Amino acid sequence: MEPIHHIIIDTDPGIDDAVAIAAALFHDQIDVKLITTVAGNVSCDKTTNNALKLLEFFHSDVPVAQGAIKPLLRTLEDSSHIHGNSGLDGYDFPHPKKETLGIHAIEAMRETILSSKEPITLVPIGPLTNIALLLSVYPECKQNIKRIVFMGGSASRGNHSPAAEFNVFVDPEAAKIVLQSGLDITMCGLDVTSLATLTKENVEALKEMNRTGEMLYGLFQHYRGGSLATGLHMHDLCAIAYLVKPELFVTKECFVDVEVNGRYTAGATIVDLKSYYQQQANAKVCLEIRVEEFRQWFMEIFTNPSIL
């Protein structure tokens, strides 16, 4: 099958990022053109190294470009308590021989977007720093960006502060720039991603399947995004699932903005489901997910005999 989604993944691996990257690489409807890295779960040096390790593990020739080393205005607050000190604790990857492109992520994105015959979908699964920079420095790229499907935000509560989801919390100003870009935007936030868990049975089934399953199993033993007893959160994988299985999600188009000033609420996404503000809708927000079918989809991808 010809791929129908030509994407750039902007990422901060991160254990759930590793799962999302693997799913995208293995999926025959997805053509991953470029992977760019950003500071988030851990420092950008580490997220870049992790992206290189993963791609080498998958024998992938998808290029990697390193991006922003810190949020636009703020100091990085990482989440190594969830993903481990390296960001990918739990599997002993060899030191990668693969190297980055040697140009900044926004330069690499610009070249990829402007030279692509097909419009590009951006799939940010970390803080939105690189995407905000790209749209600010090279707005001409917008003409060949089909849409943005990002993991982040929440229509309800947060997971890094009472009000804010981690990716938006880390760089609220960047998220605001992206949401105000006028592009076609889908938000996969905590309303669906905190429900999108893998069960202990799913994880056990992976273990014996193939070397990817063995690798992910190792990472999952160290992942603190949920637990094996209550389910492991596959936040970032939801953005990939939305691309190829949008029927698993209930969405609503509405006005979304980001609180950047609040003492307690900085990084909160204001999702105006009831149009209190009478503002034009600027994003499609995922509100419900069919979790059982999400798990089935996950298992079909990762237990496919053709994968590594």
As measured in angstroms, the least distance from the Cβ of 14 to Ca ion is 4
DSSP β-bridge partners for residue 249: 289
Q: Does 87 bind Ca ion (CB under 5 A)?
A: no
Member of 6, 8, 10, 14 binding Ca ion (CB under 5 A): 14
* Gap between the Cα atoms of 113 and 143, Å rounded: 9
Catalytic annotation present for 235: yes
Member of 84, 90, 124, 126 binding Ca ion (CB under 5 A): 126
289's CB contacts (< 8 A; 6+ apart) are 192, 195, 196, 238, 248, 249, 250
Considering the complex, state which of residue 20 and residue 248 has its C-beta at the smaller distance from Ca ion.
Answer: 20
Q: Is the peptide bond before 152 cis (omega within 30 degrees of 0)?
A: no
Considering the complex, state which of residue 152 and residue 231 has its C-beta at the smaller distance from Ca ion.
Answer: 152
Instruction: End-to-end CA distance of the chain: give it in Å, rounded.
Output: 19
Task: From 74-82, 210-218, 231-239, 292-300, give the range in contact with Ca ion by CB under 5 A.
Answer: 231-239
Member of 10, 17, 171, 173 binding Ca ion (CB under 5 A): 17
Q: How many residues does the chain have?
A: 308
* Gap between the Cα atoms of 8 and 305, Å rounded: 26
Member of 109, 125, 192, 219 binding Ca ion (CB under 5 A): 125
Strand, coil or helix: 25 = helix
210, two tokens = 């193939």
* Gap between the Cα atoms of 292 and 150, Å rounded: 22
Considering the complex, state which of residue 19 and residue 141 has its C-beta at the smaller distance from Ca ion.
Answer: 19
Task: From 17-25, 139-147, 204-212, 253-261, give the range in contact with Ca ion by CB under 5 A.
Answer: 17-25
As measured in angstroms, the least distance from the Cβ of 15 to Ca ion is 9
As measured in angstroms, the least distance from the Cβ of 61 to Ca ion is 23
The footprint of Ca ion (CB under 5 A) covers 12, 14, 17, 125-126, 236
Catalytic amino acids?
235
